[in-house]
Amino acid sequence: MGIVLGIDLGTSNSCMAMVDAATGQARVLPNREGERTTPSVVAFDASGRVTVGSAARRQAVLHPRNTVYGVKRLIGRRFSDPAVQRLMKLLPYEVVADPSGNAAVRVHGQVMTPAEVSSHVLRYLKECAEAQLGQSVEGAVITVPAYFDEVQRQETKLAGQRAGLTVHRLLNEPTAAMLSCRFDESRPENIAVFDLGGGTFDISLLHVEEEVVQVLATCGDNFLGGDNVDELVVEALRRIFLKQTGVDLTNNPEALWRLREAAESTKRTLSERDQTSIELAYLVALQEGPLHLSIPSFSRTLLENLVAKELERLRAPCEQALEDAGLTVADIHRVILVGGMTRMPAVRARAEAYLGHPGERSVNPDEAVAIGAALEADIVAGISPETPKVLLLDVLSRSLGIRTEGGRFSVLIPRNTTIPTRETKVFTTTFDQQTHVDIEVYQGEAPTVDGNRYLGELQLAGLTAAAAGTVRVAVDFTIDADGILQVTARDPTTGRKAEATLRPPTATSP
């Protein structure tokens, strides 16, 4: 097998790593510009040329509508999803529905799926790795938030395949982060991985004993991250500018982009200092002359007050994960902080408040996930015999089931079940002379299907016509190590079968 990379495909930044066959150590591979992480930003010019990473980010101020960032927040989501509707109001590029009703982006009149956009980031990383290694990269282990559902996982896999990579495994980010840490194999430990990145929050509780890592529970929020903090700061800056000059920047994407850059850098500075200043010269050009934004003092306290309510949203997933794992704060031995946002003091304070331990800072929060993915890639590819063969037991992030009578949701596999797994449940026909059944598959925790995510459906025809309740249909769900679902429906009497690997929803889905 050729080279298999570990890739952390992040909302804001991506990072790649590989294990050196000689040393058995994982190391980060820098990109073409020498950076250890690559902004997950893709710019498209009118001639179809694609630019990725810092170069794309640098030119974004001039072409905000053609520069796509944070697309991980859209991947595998319906356009009608309220979270997408909220998010698109804040994005300078255009978000549209693709022909299937999924969220997509439109640049230069061309509609692209989030997977297509992500594939450019992955291809760029692959090419950078190949250029420095002088060898071709065959595949990758790509990480995803533990909280990603089926569709989001499938779309991420598709992005990898489009980039010319064999995706050997999708690995949950917290599991990857955990693998990057040293742990004492002689002592069983419960470890919390608190991961707050640009767009998502994940909290996972793992149990490590000898060479088995078992995910006990995972919870999170796909719409909580550094971007939310930046948006609140942008909004504050917009209001200050309106007050200072009377000019509203709401419909000025170029100026909003500059505010966003300033907000993000202010946030970073305030992780190290108590206060900073913001100066944005020539923010808008009016006929009477240019207008500048000048804020001589912007304090950490002000930032913390602005975002306190948003950071409070970190609490519920932590409590839920503890409850699902059957643990209390007293049972946790270590807390590992991952994701750039855990550099913010207010975030670290929350992690400690909700999990009872100060977070460990021995791992680099930007690189831990890619390093863990590289270690897993090494196991998959069987490159260095020294790599300890850790057995990973991951869990399903959300319950899987089917629609039954009256739109009720019948769960086949509850959330936090260890995967890979398989479950069969027998259903009966609901009306007389019924010769086919439609198996509609959903994912979520609501008692009725309306509140859950539609994943797809399959039909089993050719049933024996008989009275309602007398013909049986066995529905089988099999989930592989990537969390990808294969559904089979079988008539046990005739042996007739229908099966499907579920694909993202089509236009017919609600």
Helix (H) or strand (E) holding 150: helix 150-162
Binding mask 262-301 for ligand AMP (x = CB under 6 A): --x--xx--x------------------------------
* DSSP character string of 23-44: T--EEEPP-TTS-SSEE-EEEE
Q: How far apart are CA 475 and CA 18, in angstroms?
A: 40
Please, are residues 81 and 89 in contact by the beta-carbon 8 Å criterion?
Answer: no
- Say whether 195 is catalytic: yes
By beta-carbon proximity to ligand AMP, the closer residue of 9 and 137 is 9
Please, are residues 317 and 221 in contact by the beta-carbon 8 Å criterion?
Answer: yes
Q: Does 341 bind ligand AMP (CB under 6 A)?
A: yes
How many chain residues touch ligand AMP (CB under 6 A)? 17
- Bridge-based pairing state of the strands 400-404 and 275-286: unpaired
By beta-carbon proximity to ligand AMP, the closer residue of 197 and 444 is 197
Q: How far is the CB of 222 from ligand AMP (least distance, A)?
A: 13
CA-to-CA dists, residue 278 to 180, 241, 263, 301, angstroms: 37, 12, 9, 15
Q: Does 53 bind ligand AMP (CB under 6 A)?
A: no
Task: Tokens for 498, please give them.
Answer: 């229908």
Torsion of CA 210, 213, 216, 221, to 10 degrees: 150
- Ranges within 213-232 binding ligand AMP (CB under 6 A): 226
- Would you give the distance in Å from CA 263 to the centre of its chain? 23
Q: How far is the CB of 101 from ligand AMP (least distance, A)?
A: 28
Side by side, which strands form the sheet with 418-419? 334-338, 189-196, 201-209, 212-221, 391-395, 418-419
Active site residue: 72, 126, 157, 267, which one?
A: 72
Binding mask 386-425 for ligand AMP (x = CB under 6 A): ----------------------------------------
Active site residue: 116, 149, 173, 367, which one?
A: 173
* Stretch binding ligand AMP (CB under 6 A), from 150-158, 233-241, 339-347, 428-436: 339-347
By beta-carbon proximity to ligand AMP, the closer residue of 125 and 381 is 125
Interface residue with ligand AMP among 6, 7, 10, 74 (CB under 6 A) is 10
Q: How far is the CB of 199 from ligand AMP (least distance, A)?
A: 7
- Say whether 211 is catalytic: no
Residues 6+ apart with CB under 8 A from 94: 65, 105, 106, 107
Using left for φ > 0, alpha for ψ between -120 and 50, and beta otherwise, residue 174 falls in: alpha
Q: Does 155 bind ligand AMP (CB under 6 A)?
A: no
Q: How far is the CB of 263 from ligand AMP (least distance, A)?
A: 9
Interface residue with ligand AMP among 169, 300, 343, 398 (CB under 6 A) is 343
* Stretch binding ligand AMP (CB under 6 A), from 58-66, 260-268, 298-306, 376-384: 260-268
The answer to whether the Cα torsion of 315, 321, 324, 330 is positive or negative is negative
By beta-carbon proximity to ligand AMP, the closer residue of 268 and 472 is 268
Active site residue: 116, 149, 195, 221, which one?
A: 195
CA-to-CA dists, residue 22 to 126, 202, 386, angstroms: 21, 34, 10
Q: Does 39 bind ligand AMP (CB under 6 A)?
A: no
- Say whether 173 is catalytic: yes
Q: How far apart are CA 392 and CA 379, in angstroms?
A: 11
Of all residues in this chain, which one has the CB nearest to ligand AMP in the complex? 226
Residue type at 471 in one-letter notation = V
By beta-carbon proximity to ligand AMP, the closer residue of 10 and 174 is 10
Active site residue: 8, 264, 378, 491, which one?
A: 8
Q: Does 11 bind ligand AMP (CB under 6 A)?
A: yes
- Ranges within 344-363 binding ligand AMP (CB under 6 A): 344
Q: How far apart are CA 302 and CA 283, in angstroms?
A: 23
- Say whether 8 is catalytic: yes
Residues 6+ apart with CB under 8 A from 48: none
Q: Does 198 bind ligand AMP (CB under 6 A)?
A: yes
- Bridge-based pairing state of the strands 166-172 and 137-144: parallel
Q: How far is the CB of 64 from ligand AMP (least distance, A)?
A: 18
Cis peptide before 420 (omega within 30 of 0): yes
Please, are residues 440 and 488 in contact by the beta-carbon 8 Å criterion?
Answer: no
Task: Tokens for 440, please give them.
Answer: 């509609």
Give residues in contact with ligand AMP (CB under 6 A). 10-13, 197-198, 226, 264, 267-268, 271, 339-341, 343-344, 366
Catalytic positions: 8, 72, 173, 195
